Amino acid sequence: MRGKRVVITGIGTINPLGNNIPEFFRNLDEGKSGASLIDRFDTSLFKTHFACQVQNFDTRNFPAIDIKEARKTDLFTQFAIVAADEALKDSKIDLEEIDLKRAGVVIGSGVGGLCSLESEMKDYSEGQVPRFSPFLITRFISNIASGQIAIKYGFRGPNFGVTSACATSAHAITRACVEIQSGRVDVMITGGSEAPICALGIGGFNASRAISVRNDEYLTASRPFDKTRDGFVMGEGAAALIMEEYEHAVRRGAHIYAEIAGSGMTCDAYHITAPRPDGEGAADAMMYALKDAGLTTSDVDYINVHGTSTVLGDLAELNAIKTLFGDDAFKVNISSTKSMTGHLLGAAGAVEALACIHAIESGIVPPTINFKEEDENIDYRLNLTLNERQERKIDVAMSNNFGFGGQNACLVFKKIN
């Protein structure tokens, strides 16, 4: 049984397409690639030399981050703070006017402070005496972003992290939504953050053959639905959403971007990395999300697909859409913004939620860029929004995210009439 209505009143981000919301939306609409050669470490011995990195990040340029405290936090926590601060300012919430005991934080991360852990272990292996930073644990545990944000703003309600691989921040958004629906809180900061671009991250995904090795064409290596796709492109960054109980938002005159109308979660129970070929688990997640929203497939205008640019994943997801939507599958716009941002792992769901919100507000469907060659296994009668953005009225947008372990999540966003 559904409870109170949940709406989005503030948004913030830092990701490969922009260090704030205006930059991100502009580059999303223009179909820009966020890929670049990795400059964090020597990649010469690795199969992959590129990723989608946040550009020009300097903590001194972000007042939300205390310079003295920065050394105590991993990059993923810093990204989360930047995104949350922008979202809070955008929401225009007066922290002195709300009940902070009824305000919580749920920020997800798939791998937490992976690079901090790598750095400390490298120092340990090269040293003579075991010596670790007193901040090691609080740099790498994945729930710490939620804790740091709550400390900064005084939010004393529910506070925890979520980890479910690439479905992480979609699950975080779902869980934050439940807290508001239940009536336990009025406001939640939610989303996801990830900073996995280090030797351990690139090397690990190289070993699992999950990421692209197209070093000679790195700008266009993320190419969902293309015959020559060879894996996803690693990304990093964060996105945060301010979610409020509808009446709470109305009473304070907040700008409402969209309503979170429904969510669905399933598990493939099939394989640790590969999806079910028929996409049954993904189709069920979408079906449950639409049921939760009280909508049908004919109501959906846009689907921001998981679309990672992997051979099996892209095909399985499109099979799921065709199975669930039937003839309606050929009427909806579909696109993968990972073709531009890369795959932000645990932060992907939150960043793509922002893409859905922007599509609803602007009437612009972001493109799936880098498409060149048709795959005989893909049905191109589907409107995959290839290479060029499209304009249409969007009242309902759906976002899919699927993670290693077979975890599936779907969110449905609706325009407030």
Same domain, 388 and 284: yes
Distances (CA, A) of 187 to 10, 168, 193, 248, 358: 11, 20, 19, 8, 21
220, 251, 282: which is the final residue of a domain?
A: 251
Kindly name the residue from 171, 248, 343, 358 that is annotated as catalytic: 343
Residue 118 falls within a domain, yes or no?
Answer: yes
Whether 282 and 236 map to the same domain: the answer is: no
Instruction: Indicate if 64 and 183 belong to the same structural domain.
Output: yes
Residues 219, 170, single domain; the answer is yes
Q: Examine residue 386 and state whether it is found in any structural domain, yes or no.
A: yes
- The secondary structure of residue 164, as a DSSP letter, is B
Same domain, yes or no: 221 and 309: no
Name the stretches of the chain with pLDDT < 50: 1
300 and 207 assigned to the same domain = no
Q: What is the pLDDT of residue 107?
A: 98
Q: Could you confirm whether 255 is annotated as catalytic?
A: no
The owner of tokens 């969007």 is 394
Rounded CA-CA distance 244/365 in Å is: 26
Which residue among 224, 251, 278 closes a domain?
251
Q: Which of 52, 115, 177, 306 is catalytic?
A: 306
Together in a domain, 165 and 208: yes
Nearest residue to 20 (alpha-carbon basis) of 63, 82, 106, 76: 82
Domain region containing 332: 262-414
Contacts of 75 (CB under 8 A, 6+ apart): 57, 113, 115, 195, 236
Residue 1 lies in a domain: no
Which distant-in-sequence residues (6+ apart) come within 8 Å of 204 by Cβ? Answer: none
Give pLDDT tens digits for 358-387.
999 999 999 999 999 999 999 999 999 999
H-helix segments, 208-310: 246-251, 280-293
Residue 68 confidence (pLDDT):
87
What is the value of pTM for the model shown? 0.97
Inside any domain, residue 256: no
- Coil, strand or helix at 141: coil
Tokens 């996995």 locate to 196
Total count of domains within the chain? 2
Surface-to-core class of residue 75, CB atoms within 10 Å of its CB (0-12 exposed, 13-18 middle, 19+ buried):
buried
- Mark whether 208 and 269 lie in a shared domain: no
What single DSSP character describes residue 275? P
The answer on 94 and 15 residing in a single domain is yes
pLDDT of residue 203: 98
Distance (Å, rounded) from C-alpha 325 to C-alpha 329?
Answer: 5
The secondary element (H helix, E strand) that includes residue 357 is helix 348-362
Among 251, 286, 320, the domain-final residue is: 251
Statement to judge: residues 34 and 158 lie in one domain: yes
Catalytic residue status for 248: no
Domain assignment present for 257: no
Residue 279 lies inside a defined structural domain of this protein: yes
What's 317's domain CATH number? 3.40.47.10
C-alpha torsion sign, points 86, 91, 93, 98:
negative
In a shared domain, residues 35 and 175: yes
* Residue 281 CA: distances (Å) to CA of 171, 232, 265, 401: 15, 21, 9, 12
| Calpha distance 227→253 (Å, rounded) | 49
Query: Are 111 and 194 within 8 A, CB to CB?
Result: yes
Q: Which of 227, 180, 249, 164 is nearest to 376 (CA)?
A: 227
> CA 151 to CA 386: how far, in whole Å?
43
| Catalytic residue, candidates 166, 198, 356, 410 | 166
DSSP 63: T
Output the pLDDT for position 417. Answer: 77
Q: Is 306 a catalytic residue?
A: yes
Backbone angles phi, psi at 351, to 5 degrees: -65, -40
**pLDDT for the residue 65:** 95
pLDDT of residue 243: 98
186 belongs to a structural domain: yes
Residue 303, SS3 per DSSP: strand
Same domain, 140 and 221: yes
